[in-house]
């Protein structure tokens, strides 16, 4: 269930977006993937999920290479991109049934019902997606990411734009999901990481500048706040 990244790099012409990074994400732990805008966070996520081909390096997800076992990797991953791709004219249950069909899930109706309850969509399940708030749309995004019971979750800015009540609910849901999965959560919100993450990676200008547990990182930096540590490491 682990993710092992080995010298992963991505260039866009002369621009080096990600410069040969290596790290590991472990089962049962939530890894916070931090960095300022343009640091290479989303590019790394897209390589891990098969949306971008690396310029060099590799990554193994559940023991499968993203280069040679692309379909097996995609089956093992649940992915929530930064801008959740939803069909706004579809109803919630209809959309989740459609996603479940693409994964050829057995006992489809039971699984859809199970996921709706898990992410707290029961009151909204018969509404059109376009009618729902940002918070409920994020719940739908999480539901489609977990409906095939993946071993690995990759979440890119999962709480962006949510109000405080929605934040609390979505954080609790992610923390619960992280108990038996490997989770990478990309964000620039420090409070998010402190609330739900076990381990932290900080990337700046395509390079790793920190890779440790949250407790170790604070200990190394004389118990400074994560925000202070982040500022110090990303001003380099």
Q: Does some domain include residue 16?
A: yes
The predicted model gives 52-70 an average pLDDT of 95
Q: Does some domain include residue 219?
A: yes
Q: Does some domain include residue 89?
A: no
Q: Show the tokens assigned to 193.
A: 């990481």
pLDDT score, position 225: 84
Q: Does some domain include residue 224?
A: yes
Q: Does some domain include residue 47?
A: yes
Spatial distance between the Cα atoms of 137 and 35, rounded to a whole number of angstroms: 25
Q: Which domain holds residue 60?
A: 3-84+151-234
> Which of the pair, 189 or 47, is modelled with greater confidence?
47
Spatial distance between the Cα atoms of 204 and 190, rounded to a whole number of angstroms: 15
For the chain, the residue count is 236
- Give the predicted TM-score (pTM) of the model: 0.90
Q: From edge to edge, which strands make up the β-sheet containing 30-34?
A: 77-80, 152-156, 182-187, 30-34, 199-204, 207-213
Q: Does some domain include residue 26?
A: yes
Residue where the block lists tokens 């790099």: 9
What is the per-residue pLDDT across 202-226, written as a single tens digit (0 to 9) for each? 999 999 999 999 989 988 888 788 8
Terminal Cα-to-Cα distance of the chain (whole angstroms)? 34
- The CATH number of whichever domain residue 167 belongs to comes to 3.40.50.300
Nearest to 210 by CA among 30, 4, 9, 31: 31
Residue 139 predicted with pLDDT over 60: yes
The upper half-sphere exposure of residue 152, i.e. CA atoms within 13 Å in the direction of its Cβ, equals 25
Q: Show the tokens assigned to 23.
A: 């790290």
> Which of the pair, 75 or 236, is modelled with greater confidence?
75
The band of 236, judged by pLDDT with boundaries at 50, 70 and 90, is: low
User: What is the secondary structure of 30-62 as a DSSP string?
Assistant: EEEEE--TTSSHHHHHHHHTTSS--SEEEEEET
What is the per-residue pLDDT across 73-105, written as a single tens digit (0 to 9) for each? 999 999 998 888 899 999 999 999 999 999 999
Q: Show the tokens assigned to 108.
A: 């489809």
> Which value, in Å, is the radius of gyration of the alpha carbons in the chain?
18
Q: Does some domain include residue 185?
A: yes
Contact in structure between 98 and 37 (CB atoms under 8 Å): no
Q: Does some domain include residue 199?
A: yes
Nearest to 212 by CA among 199, 228, 224: 199
**Total domain count, the chain:** 1
């Amino acid at each position: 269930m682990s993710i092992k990244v080995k010298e992963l790099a991505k260039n866009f012409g002369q621009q080096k977006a990600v410069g040969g990074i290596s790290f590991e994400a472990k089962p049962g732990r939530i890894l916070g993937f931090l960095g300022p805008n343009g640091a290479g966070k989303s590019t790394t996520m897209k390589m891990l999920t098969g949306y971008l081909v690396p310029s060099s390096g590799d990554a193994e997800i559940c023991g499968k290479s993203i280069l040679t076992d692309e379909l097996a990797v995609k089956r093992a991953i649940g992915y929530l991109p930064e801008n959740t791709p939803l069909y706004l004219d579809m109803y919630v249950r209809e959309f989740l049934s459609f996603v479940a069909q693409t994964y050829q899930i057995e006992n489809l109706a039971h699984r859809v019902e199970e996921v709706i309850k898990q992410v707290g969509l029961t009151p909204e399940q018969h509404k059109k997606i376009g009618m729902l708030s940002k918070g409920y749309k994020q719940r739908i995004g999480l539901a489609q990411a977990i409906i095939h019971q993946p071993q690995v979750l990759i979440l890119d800015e999962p709480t962006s734009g949510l109000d405080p009540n929605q934040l609390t609910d979505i954080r609790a849901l992610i923390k619960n999901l992280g108990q038996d999965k490997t989770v990478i959560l990309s964000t620039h919100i420090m409070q998010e990481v402190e609330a739900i993450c076990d381990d932290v990676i900080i990337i700046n200008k395509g390079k790793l500048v920190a890779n440790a547990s949250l407790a170790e990182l604070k200990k190394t930096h004389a118990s400074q706040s994560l925000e202070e540590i982040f500022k110090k490491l990303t001003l380099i």
